[in-house]
A and B are shown apart, each in its own frame.
Chain A
Amino acid sequence: GQQVMQIPQYQHVQEGEDFTTYCNSSTTLSNIQWYKQRPGGHPVFLIQLVKSGEVKKQKRLTFQFGEAKKNSSLHITATQTTDVGTYFCAGYYDSGYALNFGKGTSLLVTP
């Protein structure tokens, strides 16, 4: 079936280091979204990418959508302790009505 794979499952960095999480799909996605879930909280929408090769930035966060629309990445520059949480990618397939979520990457940032 159609699945969105996300790696790594966990990442532990020192404050100030960079962080990247990757999503891959075996089939083309119509769009991809990124969510952040703080410990004990619920997922909160960060951004949506729709176009092939699209790159969007939000302050220290950079989101990319691959040329083939099968992969995506989230890169955080100079992490801060406020970045702690689990980052999920989620994509729609052309034939679907529901988001397909990756399993998430849990980020721990130590000062």
Chain B
Amino acid sequence: DGGITQSPKYLFRKEGQNVTLSCEQNLNHDAMYWYRQDPGQGLRLIYYSQIVNDFQKGDIAEGYSVSREKKESFPLTVTSAQKNPTAFYLCASIGTESTDTQYFGPGTRLTVL
């Protein structure tokens, strides 16, 4: 909750365009995550990053890319290679000092026209 921001809240893009979703946290958390949520599918992990300049693919990384140049920021790019990009995208973070609790941002709802 509070401390993680995602922008924009709603995003529309034309088919074939790349788009970057923002995720910023001021919680001083080390680990950050990107999830995709589709109706009835729960949360599926796209990418995660344990530390700056390092990230790992999740279960559905194809068609997505990320960067982690700063501890506070973990942007996600949805590329034109992602065949079904319309979804609700959630960013989350946890701190190493915590009990592994994930704090989620408010999400970005992406619609491809």
Contact = CB atoms under 8 A, between A and B. Distances in A.
Contact of B104 (A31, A43, A97, A103): A43
Contacts, number: 52
Interface string A19-48: 000000000000101010000011111001
Which A-B residue pairs are the 10 nearest by beta carbons? A103-B42, A101-B43, A42-B104, A45-B101, A104-B42, A101-B42, A43-B104, A42-B107, A98-B48, A48-B99
Interface size range on B against A: 20 to 34
Contacts of B33: 98-99
Given A97-B48, A97-B56, A98-B33, A43 B101 contact: no
Interface of B: 1, 31, 33, 35, 40-45, 48, 50, 56, 58, 90, 99-107
A97 B1 CA distance: 21
A33 B44 CA distance: 16
Interface in A21-79: 31, 33, 35, 41-45, 48
Interface of A: 6, 9, 31, 33, 35, 41-45, 48, 88, 90, 92, 97-99, 101-104
